[in-house]
Amino acid sequence: MRLSPVDPTNPDPAVIAAAAAELRAGGLVAFPTETVYGLGANALDADAVARIYAAKGRPSYNPVIVHVPHTDAARSVVTTWPATAAALSAAFWPGPLTIVLPKSADVPDSVSAGLPLIGVRVPAHPVALALLRAAQIPVAAPSANKSNQLSPTSAEHVARALADVEGLILDGGPCTVGIESTVVDLSTDVPTLLRPGGVSVAALESVLGIRMLLQGPPAEAADAPRRSPGALDRHYAPHAPIRMAPLGDPLALATTIDALRADGAVIGVITHTVFDLPFRGDVVVRVLPPYAEGYASQLFAALHELDVTPVTAIVVEAVPDFAIWDAVRDRLRRAAT
C-alpha cells in the first residue's frame, strides 16, 4: 500500500479529499482511528467489501464493522434504534464502542457476513472523522492486518502487514487507545458484550443502569451459533508463540525465560512490574506501563517490535485480574492460544 502522511490533529483537506475519492471509487484506504488502524472500503459496494476480505485473507463468516461520522449516519445502516443505543451513543461516541443492531437492507450482506445484525461505530480520531465526512458513505473497516495477526497501531505496521495490497494508507501516527473497540449487541433487551475493548463494561453499565450479559467462553459456545464470529478465534497473534508467566514474580519470570533458553529459544519478554531483568545478549525486553490504559496503548506496538526481531518465543507477564484489565487480558489470552 502507498503511504500518505497526514497531520493527525489537523488533517490537510486535499489529502483527505484524495483518500475519500479512492474510497468512493471502490478502492481500499487504511486510516488511523483512536483504537487501531482500519482497512476501509465503501460499505455500500459489495465489490469493494470483497477487496477487504481478499486483502486480509479474512474468512467470509467474520463480519466487518461499519464506520460513520455521526449518530445520524449510524442510524441509516440499521433498522432499529433502541433506547440503549441512544444512551450509549450519546455517552461514548465518538469513541471506542461498536454497537450491533439489525442491518438495513441497503448494506450488502457480505459486510455482516450474512448475519442479520451489523456493527457500527463513530471513531474518535480527527483523520478518521474527516475521511468519513468527506467520503459521504459508510466505510466498512476491519483492523488493517492479515487475518488472525497483530492489529496495527501505526501506519508502518499496516505497510508491513499489507505490503502486497493495492491502496492508500493515511499515516496519522500512532493510535492512542491501542486496543480495539468494545463490541456490544443491542438487538436484545439486555445488551450482550461480544468483545471487551476501549470502553469498560463498568462504564457501559453505569450509563445503561443495568448489568449486561457477557458472551460465554469459547468452549461453551463451540456448537452454538457464533454471535460474534471473530471473537472466538485465535487472534491478535505475533509469529512467535507466547508463554505466560505469573504476575509480579521476578523469579518465576526468570525461570520461565531460562527454561525456554535452555531449549534453544531466542526470547522476547513483555513485563510491566519487573524493571531490571538481569539478562544480557539475545533476550529482548519490553517494559510496558503498569496501569491498564498505558499498557493497552503500547501492547500491540511491543508485540510488533518483537515480531521483527529473531525471537522464537515471547514470555509475557500476566496482568492483574481487575475488570479494568479485561480487554488487555482478552487480547493476551487469544494471542497465547
Q: Residues in the site for ligand TXA, rule: CB under 6 A?
A: 33, 35-36, 38, 62-65, 96, 98, 100, 112, 115, 117-119, 123, 141-143, 180-181, 183, 194-195, 227-231
CA–CA separation, 237 vs 87, rounded Å? Answer: 34
Residue 133: CB minimum distance to Mg ion, A? 24
Identify whether the C-beta of residue 39 lies closer than 8 Å to the C-beta of residue 28.
yes
Q: How far is the CB of 178 from ligand TXA (least distance, A)?
A: 10
User: Which of 236/325 has CB closer to ligand TXA?
Assistant: 236
Neighbour order of strands in the sheet with 192-195: 2-5, 168-171, 29-31, 38-42, 139-140, 66-67, 117-121, 97-102, 182-185, 192-195, 213-214
Q: Are 39 and 55 in contact (CB under 8 A)?
A: yes
Amino acid code (one letter) for 229: P
Residue nearest to Mg ion (CB): 143
Of residues 98 and 154, the one with the C-beta less far from ligand TXA: 98
Could you tell me the smallest distance in angstroms from the CB atom of residue 101 to ligand TXA?
9
Q: Are 123 and 129 in contact (CB under 8 A)?
A: yes
Cβ neighbours of residue 315 closer than 8 Å, sequence gap 6 or more: 242, 243, 244, 245, 253, 256, 257, 260, 267, 268, 269, 270
Q: Are 58 and 52 in contact (CB under 8 A)?
A: yes
Residue 134 site contact among ligand TXA, Mg ion, none (CB < 5 to 8 Å, cut-off depends on kind): none
- Residue position matching grid coordinates 491502496: 167
Interacting partner of 98 out of Mg ion, ligand TXA, none (Cβ under 5 to 8 A depending on kind): ligand TXA
Burial of 40-60, coded b for 16+ CB within 10 Å and e otherwise, reads bbbbbbeebbebbbebbebee
Query: Which of ligand TXA, Mg ion, none sits in contact with 65, Cβ below 5 to 8 A by type?
Result: ligand TXA
Chain-centroid distance, C-alpha 318: 20
Residue 117 vs 161, nearer CB to Mg ion: 161
Pick the closer one to ligand TXA by CB: 38 or 268: 38
Task: Please choose which of Mg ion, ligand TXA, none residue 119 contacts, taking the beta carbon within 5 to 8 angstroms, the exact cut-off set by kind.
Answer: ligand TXA
Q: Which does 141 bind (CB under 5 to 8 A by kind): Mg ion, ligand TXA, none?
A: ligand TXA
Count of residues for the chain? 337
Over the window 6 to 45, marking each residue x when it contacts Mg ion by CB under 5 A and - when it does not, the resulting string is ----------------------------------------
- CB proximity list for 19: less than 8 A, separation 6 or greater: 4, 29, 31, 131, 134, 168, 170
Residue 318 site contact among Mg ion, ligand TXA, none (CB < 5 to 8 Å, cut-off depends on kind): none
Alpha carbons 131 and 23: distance in angstroms, whole number: 9
Which of 66/284 has CB closer to ligand TXA? 66
Minimum distance from CB of 224 to ligand TXA (Å)? 13
Q: Using CB under 5 A, which of 62, 84, 110, 143 touches Mg ion?
A: 143
319 CA to centre of own chain: 19
Residue 174: contacted member of Mg ion, ligand TXA, none (CB under 5 to 8 Å, by partner type): none
Q: Which one of 12-20, 70-78, 136-144, 279-287 is the stretch in contact with Mg ion (CB under 5 A)?
A: 136-144
Q: Enumerate binding residues for Mg ion (CB under 5 A).
A: 143
